[in-house]
Amino acid sequence: MNVNEVYPPDRVALREVGLRDGLQLVGSWPGTAAKGEWVRREGAAGVRWFETGSFLPAGTFPQFADVRQVVDAVRDAGAHGIGLVLNERGAEAAIASGVPELACVVSATETHSRANVRRSVAESIAVAAHACALRDAAPHRPLVSATIGMSLGCSMTGTVAAADVLSIAERLFHAGVDLVTLADTVGYAGPAEVGALVRAVRPIAGSRPLAVHLHDTRGLGLANAAAALDAGIRILDASLGGLGGCPFAPGATGNIVMEDLAFLCEKQGFATGIDLEALCATRAILADEMPNERLHGGLARSGLPLGFSGAG
Amino acid sequence: MNVNEVYPPDRVALREVGLRDGLQLVGSWPGTAAKGEWVRREGAAGVRWFETGSFLPAGTFPQFADVRQVVDAVRDAGAHGIGLVLNERGAEAAIASGVPELACVVSATETHSRANVRRSVAESIAVAAHACALRDAAPHRPLVSATIGMSLGCSMTGTVAAADVLSIAERLFHAGVDLVTLADTVGYAGPAEVGALVRAVRPIAGSRPLAVHLHDTRGLGLANAAAALDAGIRILDASLGGLGGCPFAPGATGNIVMEDLAFLCEKQGFATGIDLEALCATRAILADEMPNERLHGGLARSGLPLGFSGAG
C-alpha cells in the first residue's frame, strides 16, 4: 500500500478517531453492531478514514475487544481502517486482522513515556520498527504510522523542546514509518506553535505525509487546526461530537469536533468530500448509544450558514 | 478622549461584552450589586474594557435599566465603559450618563437592518453621525464607535459582499466615528474570510482602529480570532464563559469565551495584562447569579498548561 494513495497529498483527509480515542475513557460503549452502523453512516456521509480500536488484551480494554469486526466494517464501508498498536504482540494481532494501517505511539518525553506505557522513548520507537518489519513481510502491505504524543507540551514536564520532537520524528522515519502524526495530546498548543512545529518537521518527512492530532482541551483546537492547514497539513484527526476526554486532564474535553473541523476545512477552501448535514445527523447514533456522553460542537447545534456551499 | 489612548495600538484590548451582549437574551440576570461585583472582579483580573449595557427604554430591556450604575461601576474599577445606543434618544441618554464610549450598530444588509431595527442602513449611519455630533458638543468628549453587524454573512440574506461592508465602513468613518467593529454576528465566517475583510477595510480606517466581534456559533470563533490577530486586529470582543446566545440562531452559542481568547492571545505572543487564573475564578459570579446559564470554555475547565508563562 502506498501512503500517498491512501492519503492523496492534494486533498484533505479527516480521520474519525472516535471509535478508538473517543472510547478510550468511557464506562460504556456501543456494541459491535452499533459500531458498524456508526461506521456505515459516517462513511456514507463521506468520511473515508477511521481509527478502529486498539489491539490490546481484551481484558484491559474491553471496549476494543471487537476491534477486528470494526476493521471489517470499515473495509466493508469502502473506507481506510487504522488500528492502534502499543507493543509487539499488538502489532502481530493487527497484521493478522488485515487492518490497512498500524498506528504506533511514541511519547515526546521520557517521563511521560515511562508513566504511560512503562517503556522508554527508544523502546517505543523499537515497537514501530518491529511493526515496519511485520509490514514488509505481510502480503497485504499495510501502512505503519506513528503518533508523537505530547509533541506540543507535556502534562508531566511542561514545555517540550521542538528539537526532541524532530529527533523522534527522524528516528521514526528512519525506522521506516510511512506517516508521522504530531499530537497535542493535552491541548497545550497555540496556533503559532503548531505552525512552527509542522514547518520544522516537514523537511525530515520528505515526501512522506505529516498529520496532526489536536485536542480542544483549552478551546484552541480549531484555531490550531487552521494553523496546521496553513502550514500545509492535509491529514487531521477529529471525532464525531468531540467524543473522548483527556486521560491526563480529568473532566477536560478531548478531540476536536469532526463536524466543526470539516466546516472549517470547507470554509478555508479544502474540499473534504463530506456532506456536512449528513455528518451532523450521524451524531444520533452516539446520542442513542452513549446517552451519558456530552456531545460537543457548534455546527450540529446551529446548522449550516444560509446559502452555504462548500469548497468543492 | 483619544481613541489611540483608550485602545493603545501596540497592545491587545479584550472587551468584556457579557454585561450587554451576554444579557441580551436571558430571562434573568444579575442585580445591580452583582453586576458591580462582576466588573470589580473581572477588572481586578486585568480586563480594562467593558460593555455596560444598552441605552434603551427600561420597559423593553429591563436587564439594562441599571446601565448608568454599571457605567459608574466600570469607571470606579478604573476601566473603560461602552454603552450601546440604537437611536437618537439612546445617544442622548448615553452622553448624559458620562459613559466614555457610545457604541452604535449598523447592519451590513438592508434586509437585516429593517428586520432588526426597522431602519435602513443609511438611517442607522445617521444615528452614528448624530452620536458624533453629540460627542463633539460634550465636555467629556466620549468616543463613538460603530459595529457593522452581519459583516461576514447574514442570517437573512446569506453571503455579504465585502464591498458593501467597505462602503458602510467608509460612510461611518466619514460620519466621524472613532472606531469600527466588524461583527460576525451569526458565526458564519471562517479564518480566511476574517483576514481578507480586515485587510480590505484597513486602508479605509487609516490611523483609526478596527475591532472584531466574533461569535462561536459554529465552533470557529477562536480560529477566526487568531486570523484577526494575524491580520493586525488588536481589539476583540468576548464574554466571560461565552455568556450570550444568538438572536438569529435559537439555541446557538454566541460570544467567544473571554478566558480562552485571553489564553489564545498570550499563546500568540500578545500580552493581555490579564491574570488568567483570576479571570477563570471570576466565572463563579455567573454560576452564582445565573445558575441556569451554561458557561462555556476550555481553560476554566482544564486549567493552565503546566509551566505556562504568558506573553508578558
Q: Does domain A4-302 have CATH number 3.20.20.70?
A: yes
Cβ(B168)–Cβ(B106) below 8 Å: yes
pLDDT digits (tens, 9 = 90+) for B245-277: 766 666 667 899 999 999 999 999 999 999 999
A157-177 pLDDT tens trace = 999 999 999 999 999 999 999
Range with lowest mean pLDDT among A20-29, A111-120, B6-15, B235-244: A20-29
Q: State whether residue B302 sits within 8 Å of chain A by CB.
A: yes
Give percent of chain A above pLDDT 70.
98
More confident call, A294 vs A275? A275
Between CA B73 and CA B81, with CA B75 as vertex, the angle to 5 degrees is 95
Q: How does pLDDT run across B272-311, given as a tens digit for each residue? A: 999 999 999 999 999 999 998 989 999 999 999 999 999 9
- Interface size between A and B, measured as CB pairs under 8 A: 146
Q: What is the pLDDT of residues B58-69, one digit of tens each?
A: 788 999 999 999
Rg for chain A, CA atoms, rounded:
18
- Å from B144 to nearest chain A CA? 31
User: Average model confidence (pLDDT) for chain A?
Assistant: 96
The mean pLDDT value for A261-285 works out to 98
Contact criterion met (CB below 8 Å) for A178 and A143:
yes
Q: Write out pLDDT tens, residues A20-66.
A: 999 988 888 999 999 999 999 999 999 999 999 999 987 889 999 99
Does the beta carbon of B312 lie under 8 angstroms from any beta carbon of chain A?
no
In the set B104, B132, B154, B246, the catalytic residue is: B246
Confidence of residue A109 (pLDDT cuts 50, 70, 90): very high
Q: Which of B193, B222, B308 to mutate to test the interface with A (most CBs of A within 10 A)?
A: B222
Q: Which residues share a beta bridge with A184? A: A214
pLDDT surpasses 70 at A248:
no
What mean pLDDT do residues B138-159 have?
Answer: 97
Residue A60 confidence (pLDDT): 86
Q: What single-letter amino acid sits at B100?
A: P
Task: Mark residue B118 as left, alpha or beta (left: phi above 0; alpha: psi -120 to 50; beta: remaining).
Answer: left
Residue A291 CB burial class (10 angstroms; 0-12, 13-18, ≥19): exposed
Supply the DSSP string of B213-224, one letter for each residue. EEB-TTS-HHHH
Q: Is the pLDDT of residue A104 over 70?
A: yes
Question: Closest to A219 (Cβ–Cβ): which among B155, B222, B305?
Answer: B222
Report the pLDDT value the prediction gives residue A245, as an integer from 0 to 100.
75
Residue of B nearest to A241 (CA): B219
- pTM of the predicted model over 0.80: yes
Give the integer Cα–Cα distance in Å for B239 and B47. 11
Q: Is CATH 3.20.20.70 the right assignment for the domain spanning B3-302?
A: yes
Q: Does B186 touch chain A (CB under 8 A)?
A: yes
Q: Does B268 touch chain A (CB under 8 A)?
A: yes
Higher pLDDT, B252 or B238: B238
Searching chain A, which residue's CA lies closest to the CA of residue B296? Answer: A219
Tens-digit pLDDT profile for residues A191-245: 999 999 999 999 999 999 999 999 999 999 999 999 999 999 999 999 999 998 7
Query: Which of A222, A259, A263 has the CB atom closest to B222's CB atom?
Result: A222
Which residue in B306, B308, B309 has the most chain A C-beta atoms within 10 A of its own C-beta, making it the best mutation to test that interface?
B306
Note whether A257 contacts B: Cβ–Cβ < 8 A: yes
CA–CA distance, B153 with B150 (Å, rounded to integer) = 5
**What is the rounded distance in angstroms from the CA atom of residue B271 to the CA atom of residue B273?**
6
Residue B251: predicted pLDDT = 66
ipTM over the 0.95 cut-off: yes
Whole-number pLDDT of residue B248: 66
pLDDT at A250: 65
Position A280 scores a pLDDT of: 98
